[in-house]
């Protein structure tokens, strides 16, 4: 009798597919593309109609993420120009899916040939090989941070949808060098004025020098990005599983190299007593302090939302190291290629993009369930 086991006859005894390519529930991004394929891109599904789009601004966001923009980031050259195929008519969104692509033009597969047969420490090489039984060594394929270009495009559209809601991310720590000022004392217009994307020029200068020294050693260093969201209406977020900060946390943790997320008082807040930690109300419903970080019970309360995102040091160091090959034998290796000594300056627009996607999704969600 033929049964479901016939599947085995189809030559697809061992197959796999990669899940988890869509982000969002109502304002959604389905991302496609590999680092060394023909194009990356995506479809934004659920963006409301009638939104006047500033296409230059979208390209500007992509440029903030792209390689080669300064001396402290990877020197790869990728033009990263986005083309839109649908969902936009005479400069406005039509409410239908927005398809877009970013063609790959400068992929040097040979740059990766030296790592073809061994697993780079603290990279995804090993788990990919174990999970999928194969490995696209040419820059990580789908696991490459190049995929985040699609997120930046979608996030740039989400930002424009969000209108008065303003999202500003910046570098607040590189290694153990911390920006000590509170975000309220910073001038966000300074973020783009330096290659580190730290709005305090003095700290930015020190961070830049530090990253350069790290780069000289062929080493890398971690960092923290702080993100502040202002002019948020009250009421975004769902009370049980889809709390606003839970979705922000997932969004941030889905960015390559992220190791931690905290909002409001965060990990420091655990040391406080309730009587110290509680935010007292003003008559207008705002609070005198904001340890809550703009979210109560998973729902925005109208105060600024702020959170920190921890990035580990980039795993590719331009030094000699020992690792294993596919046979489990120890092999000597040498880091090569064009890589970032510190990922946080280029990750700033990615953090903003993911935050914008979460806010846009929760805006639509809130409107859909509160009418």
Q: Which residues are part of a known binding site for FMN?
A: 142-144, 256-257, 297, 312-316, 338
Buried b or exposed e, range 144-176, using 16+ CB within 10 angstroms: bbbbbbbbbbbbbbbbbbbeebebbbbbbbbee
Using CB under 8 A as the binding rule, whether residue 110 contacts a copy of itself is answered as no
**Please, what is the minimum distance in Å from the beta carbon of residue 178 to a copy of itself?**
10
Task: Pick the closer one to a copy of itself by CB: 168 or 363.
Answer: 363
Among 68, 132, 166, 230, binds a copy of itself (CB under 8 A): 132
Stretch that binds a copy of itself, among 64-72, 139-147, 184-192, 202-210 (CB under 8 A): 139-147
| DSSP-assigned letter for residue 21 | -
Pick the closest to residue 29 from 16, 20, 17, 39 (CA basis): 20
**CB–CB of 291/303 below 8 Å?**
no
Task: Pick the closer one to a copy of itself by CB: 193 or 321.
Answer: 321
**CB–CB of 227/352 below 8 Å?**
yes
Pick the closest to residue 302 from 211, 249, 229 (CA basis): 229
Residues 267-286 that bind a copy of itself (CB under 8 A): 267, 269-285
**CB–CB of 357/23 below 8 Å?**
yes
Distance CA(183)–CA(170), nearest Å, equals 10
Using CB under 8 A as the binding rule, whether residue 247 contacts a copy of itself is answered as yes
**CB–CB of 186/201 below 8 Å?**
no
Q: Strand, coil or helix: what is 338?
A: coil
Using CB under 8 A as the binding rule, whether residue 116 contacts a copy of itself is answered as no
State the residue for tokens 């040091």.
313
Task: Pick the closer one to a copy of itself by CB: 55 or 253.
Answer: 253
Enumerate the known binding-site residues. Answer: 65, 142-144, 256-257, 297, 312-316, 338
**CB–CB of 196/313 below 8 Å?**
no
Task: Pick the closer one to a copy of itself by CB: 193 or 319.
Answer: 319
Using CB under 8 A as the binding rule, whether residue 113 contacts a copy of itself is answered as no
Among 68, 234, 336, 337, binds a copy of itself (CB under 8 A): 234
**Please, what is the minimum distance in Å from the beta carbon of residue 154 to a copy of itself?**
12
How many beta carbons lie within 10 A of that of residue 194, not counting itself?
Answer: 20
Count of residues that interact with a copy of itself, criterion CB under 8 A: 167
Using CB under 8 A as the binding rule, whether residue 266 contacts a copy of itself is answered as yes
Residues 305-364 that bind a copy of itself (CB under 8 A): 308, 310-317, 319, 321-324, 328-330, 363-364
H/E stretch holding 299 reads strand 299-300
Enumerate the known binding-site residues for NADP(+). Answer: 65
Task: Pick the closer one to a copy of itself by CB: 56 or 176.
Answer: 176
Among 58, 214, 229, 351, binds a copy of itself (CB under 8 A): 214
Task: Pick the closer one to a copy of itself by CB: 185 or 329.
Answer: 329
Task: Pick the closer one to a copy of itself by CB: 187 or 357.
Answer: 357
Residues 7-36 that bind a copy of itself (CB under 8 A): 7, 9-12, 14-23, 26, 30-34
Using CB under 8 A as the binding rule, whether residue 45 contacts a copy of itself is answered as yes
Burial class (CB in 10 A: 0-12, 13-18, 19+), 353: buried
Distance CA(359)–CA(182), nearest Å, equals 23
**CB–CB of 354/348 below 8 Å?**
no
**Please, what is the minimum distance in Å from the beta carbon of residue 285 to a copy of itself?**
5
Residues 156-195 that bind a copy of itself (CB under 8 A): 161, 163-164, 173, 175-176
**CB–CB of 75/67 below 8 Å?**
yes
**Please, what is the minimum distance in Å from the beta carbon of residue 88 to a copy of itself?**
8
Task: Pick the closer one to a copy of itself by CB: 29 or 204.
Answer: 29
């Amino acid at each position: 009798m033929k049964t479901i086991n016939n599947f085995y006859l189809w030559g697809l005894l061992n197959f796999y597919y990669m899940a988890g390519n869509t982000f969002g529930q109502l304002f959604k991004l389905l991302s496609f593309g590999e680092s060394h394929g023909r194009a990356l891109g995506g479809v934004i599904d659920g963006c409301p109609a009638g939104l006047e789009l500033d296409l230059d601004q979208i390209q500007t966001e992509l440029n903030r993420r792209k390689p080669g923009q300064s001396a402290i980031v990877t020197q790869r050259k990728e033009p990263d120009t986005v083309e839109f195929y649908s969902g936009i008519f005479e400069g406005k969104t039509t409410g239908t899916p927005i398809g877009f692509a970013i063609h790959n033009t400068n992929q040097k597969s040979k740059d990766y040939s030296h790592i073809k047969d061994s697993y780079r420490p603290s990279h995804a090489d090993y788990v990919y090989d174990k999970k999928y039984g194969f490995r696209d060594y040419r820059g990580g394929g789908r696991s490459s941070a190049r995929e985040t270009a699609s997120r930046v495009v979608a996030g740039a559209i989400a930002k424009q949808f969000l209108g008065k809601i303003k999202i500003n991310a910046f570098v607040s720590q590189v290694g153990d060098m911390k920006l000590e000022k509170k975000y309220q004392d910073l001038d966000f217009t300074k973020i783009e004025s330096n290659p580190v994307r730290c709005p305090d020029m003095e700290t930015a200068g020190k961070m830049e020098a530090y990253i350069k020294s790290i780069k000289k050693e062929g080493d890398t260093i971690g960092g923290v990005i702080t993100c502040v969201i202002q002019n948020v209406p009250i009421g975004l977020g769902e009370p049980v599983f889809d709390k606003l900060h839970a979705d922000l946390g997932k969004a941030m943790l889905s960015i390559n190299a992220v190791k931690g997320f905290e909002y409001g008082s965060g990990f420091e807040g655990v040391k406080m007593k309730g009587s110290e930690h509680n935010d007292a109300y003003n008559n207008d419903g705002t609070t005198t302090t904001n340890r809550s970080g703009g979210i109560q019970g998973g729902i925005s309360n109208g105060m600024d939302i702020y959170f920190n995102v921890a990035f580990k040091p980039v795993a590719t160091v331009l030094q000699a190291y020992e690792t294993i090959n596919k046979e489990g034998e120890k092999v000597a290796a040498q880091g090569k290629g064009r890589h970032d000594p510190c990922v946080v300056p280029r990750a700033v627009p990615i953090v903003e993009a993911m935050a914008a996607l979460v806010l846009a999704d929760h805006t639509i969600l809130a409107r859909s369930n509160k009418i």
